[in-house]
A = this chain, B = another copy of it.
Amino acid sequence: MPSVIRRFSSLPSDIHKFQSRADEQWNIHSKLISIHGRLRRARPQSGGDMSASPNDSTEETTAVFPPTYIVIQFSRHIRTTALVWLVDKICGKRLDGGAELLVRKQPHHDGEGLTLHVSASKIKFLEVAEELELRKRDKCGLIREFTVSQLDDFLEEGMHVDDLLTTAEKQYIVRHELENIRALKEDDQVPGYPAFRLYEGQSIVQVCLHWKLLDRMYPLHDQEALGKLGMKWYWALFRKQPFEEIRLYFGEAVALYFTFLGFYTTSLLVPMVLGFLQLFLSSESIAFFCVFNVLWVTVFLEVWKRKCSELAFTWGTIGMTSLDEPRPNYHGVMGIDVVTGRYQPQFPRWKTNARLYCASLPIVLLCMVGAFFVMLASFWAEEMIIHMKKLHGLEAGGLLVLMPSILYSAVVFIMNCYYRKLATFLTEWENHRTQSQFDRHRVTKLVLFEFVNNFMSLFYIAFYIQDMEMLKNQLTVMLIIFQAINNFQEAILPLLIKCYSKKVTKALKFDAILGNKDNEGSSYIRKRRPTLIHEKDSVIPDHIPALEPDDPRIELAIAEGEMENYEGTYDDYLEIFIQFGYVFLFSSVYPMAALWAVVNNILEIRADAFKLCCLYQRPMAKRVKDTGAWQRAFEAVGAMSIMTNCGLLCMSPQLRRLAPSLTSVEWVLLFVVLEHMLLGIRHILHLVIPDRPEWVRVALARINHQSKQALKNERTIKNRRHLFRRYNTVHASLNHND
């Protein structure tokens, strides 16, 4: 365990004794003999270079392999030197740049690439958990950073050491270790591929995924846990979602999304009830509801921010900053990190900012303007056609009027695809240090573009054409039909595809038993993910221990490998965001919007849950502390809703009828004043509602205080010897002067 030794090198030497005692202890803790045995046999591996001692491997192959956390599929065409090098890196010692992980190959057939099951020893998990500063709840209920030496503090009565880390955390640890395999000074290229250059500190796995030397890398589902989760979640339509279980299984990012969706849906009940009331009241009451609605949005977002910080504190992610552990694709000159003193890639912040503001920002603005003109063009075309129809009396071309809308939808779809790639590329190029920063900047870029595509046409109808009936119809279509299609697309369509692909899998399995090569199933896989052109299939070295041929994980790995990849919460948030815009930007015109939104969201929660559990590959757990760019996006729409609603009120004929003596200018001024007052109140609410609840602030202050005290004490102890020595010297020299 070199990392542990390195970390504790400043401590007295008996810490090592303690360390071995503790290791022993874990054995004792594990009462089940099978686990006991597995642990004993697995441990030597964690520190040992497996490929260097192929003699052990025969023994290893017979040992029970711990649960697979990540499956890696190698390209079938990867050159053998590169393959061996990569596997060595994965299993190798930390000092040699390895990740010290445990691997098993899947029994393979010619014509198939190597599929590797990756896991880690218990000690490795605990070690990395400490390194990553994972925060866990200790016996006293205090949430603090986990340390190996305090293991016992974190084990509640009767809790097994295996249960300390959740499967999401273990999977996160394995992935972190895989992605953290970085090129050493001597690794200037991928062996066998002189064209694939490496620089020191680059994440090797990322490079191999980029060059398609690795086909894919995905975690495996835990079928038992998944079944339990499903019963509590998507099969229980009107029960509270099991947020804690979701987090333990899918990680913080997914849990936060579902918490947000739930919170948002509950909060929507208020505007929904108000929308109902409006049906029975006079149309003059519209102004009151409108004012209430926009203030409600502000309060909702502020309260969510507070809730978010509570969750982040409980999950131990509240301390995440932009100076944390860099994400795998972050590149730069390797150097000593000023904060942690670790050896990490360094990239000056001003360069990132320069790229962001001088290149990305203008490009994004240009794209937005472009999208805006495409939108205008579609409206012009529609007008032209209507005009021509009237002029020439074309009767047959009834569908022709719909053409611009259909064409516009198609163009938006294509634009979106390309823009997404552009945004990802630009954000990657900006080279943000942490995953949160990367996500934030990518989402910001995407949201700006989506805003133009989704809302600009409504703005055009509302404020340029000023046709409220058309706006109302448009909103109804969007909120009911659009969302229904979306749910169908998300949950039911993939289910159909899955049924189809199950047949495919069965065929595949059947073929695998018969030993047939080049069957339909595997060619289907290869078609979807073309590898780079390499000469011939690679030879898979024999010294890698294999799983038993009857291991159930093999079938699971194959089945889940074919599932679609869940690309993060972006699309899900986007859906809520667009709905949020529809509901609140024009709520004074269409107060029933909230009702449709609530109906949709109740379905959406379960559809998303089902989708995530059954249709997608298990997503990689991601740690987040807040909704990031989405919070700002929602806030921006909230502010905009004040403006649009005041504008709509100002134009509403019902209200104007109330005071016919007022001139147009006076009406405009009246609503400008109302709008400014609302914006002012919004700002005051923003200032007055603290971002963090009192208890979180106090808890953080306490941790901060304790750390500061500890630093003082440490310095006291460290300096004592030094001070004694120095004082004696001073003594002598002064005496001499006397």
Are B323 and A697 in touch, CB under 8 angstroms?
yes
Are A702 and B339 in touch, CB under 8 angstroms?
yes
Which residues of chain B have C-beta atoms less than 8 A from A719's C-beta?
149-150, 152-153
Q: Does A519 contact B (CB under 8 A)?
A: no
Q: How far is the CA of A430 from the CA of B369 in the complex (A)?
A: 52
Q: Restricting to A698-738, which residues have a CB under 8 Å from any CB of B?
A: 698, 701-702, 704-708, 710-717, 719-720, 723-724, 726-727, 730-731, 734
Are B706 and A11 in touch, CB under 8 angstroms?
no
Which residues of chain B have C-beta atoms less than 8 A from A276's C-beta?
none
Q: Restricting to A118-175, which residues have a CB under 8 Å from any CB of B?
A: 133, 145, 147, 149-150, 152-153
What's the nearest-Cβ distance from chain B to residue A724, in Å?
7
Q: How far is the CA of A11 from the CA of B715 in the complex (A)?
A: 12
Q: How far is the CA of A556 from the CA of B152 in the complex (A)?
A: 64
Partner of A339, one of B28, B698, B727: B698
Partner of A713, one of B21, B323, B704, B714: B714
Which residues of chain B have C-beta atoms less than 8 A from A720's C-beta?
15, 18, 149
Q: Does A55 contact B (CB under 8 A)?
A: no
Which residues of chain B have C-beta atoms less than 8 A from A506's C-beta?
none
Are A149 and B716 in touch, CB under 8 angstroms?
yes
Which residues of chain B have C-beta atoms less than 8 A from A133's C-beta?
708
Residues A339 and B668 in contact in the complex (CB < 8 Å), given A28-B734, A710-B707, A719-B150: no
Q: How far is the CA of A555 from the CA of B76 in the complex (A)?
A: 96
Which residues of chain B have C-beta atoms less than 8 A from A707's C-beta?
704, 707-708, 710-711
Partner of A21, one of B152, B697, B710, B724: B724
CB-based nearest B residue for A698: B338
- Cβ contacts A656-691/B at 8 Å (1 or 0 each): 000000001100110010001001000000010000
Q: Does A473 contact B (CB under 8 A)?
A: no
Are A152 and B723 in touch, CB under 8 angstroms?
yes
Residues A339 and B701 in contact in the complex (CB < 8 Å), given A28-B734, A710-B713, A711-B706: yes
CB-based nearest B residue for A632: B687
Are A724 and B18 in touch, CB under 8 angstroms?
yes
What's the nearest-Cβ distance from chain B to residue A668, in Å?
5
Are A723 and B672 in touch, CB under 8 angstroms?
no
Q: Does A694 contact B (CB under 8 A)?
A: yes
Are B18 and A698 in touch, CB under 8 angstroms?
no
Are B323 and A676 in touch, CB under 8 angstroms?
no
Q: Does A349 contact B (CB under 8 A)?
A: yes
What's the nearest-Cβ distance from chain B to residue A157, in Å?
12
- Cβ contacts A320-354/B at 8 Å (1 or 0 each): 01010000000000000011100000000100000
Are A145 and B22 in touch, CB under 8 angstroms?
no
Q: How far is the CA of A688 from the CA of B152 in the complex (A)?
A: 45
Q: Does A25 contact B (CB under 8 A)?
A: yes
Partner of A712, one of B147, B643, B694, B715: B147
What's the nearest-Cβ distance from chain B to residue A246, in Å?
29
Are A723 and B22 in touch, CB under 8 angstroms?
yes
Q: How far is the CA of A717 from the CA of B8 in the complex (A)?
A: 11
Are B339 and A723 in touch, CB under 8 angstroms?
no
Q: Restricting to A7-41, which residues have a CB under 8 Å from any CB of B?
A: 8, 10-11, 15, 18, 21-22, 25, 28-29
Q: How far is the CA of A4 from the CA of B147 in the complex (A)?
A: 31
Q: How far is the CA of A111 from the CA of B561 in the complex (A)?
A: 97
Which residues of chain B have C-beta atoms less than 8 A from A153's C-beta?
719
Are B727 and A21 in touch, CB under 8 angstroms?
yes
Are A147 and B716 in touch, CB under 8 angstroms?
yes
Q: How far is the CA of A149 from the CA of B8 in the complex (A)?
A: 25
Which residues of chain B have C-beta atoms less than 8 A from A25's C-beta?
727, 730-731
What's the nearest-Cβ distance from chain B to residue A439, in Å?
17
What's the nearest-Cβ distance from chain B to residue A155, in Å?
11
17 new A-B contacts, CB < 8 A, other than A11-B713, A338-B702, A665-B665, are A11-B717, A18-B723, A25-B727, A29-B730, A145-B708, A147-B716, A149-B715, A149-B716, A149-B723, A152-B723, A152-B726, A672-B672, A706-B711, A707-B708, A710-B711, A710-B713, A714-B714
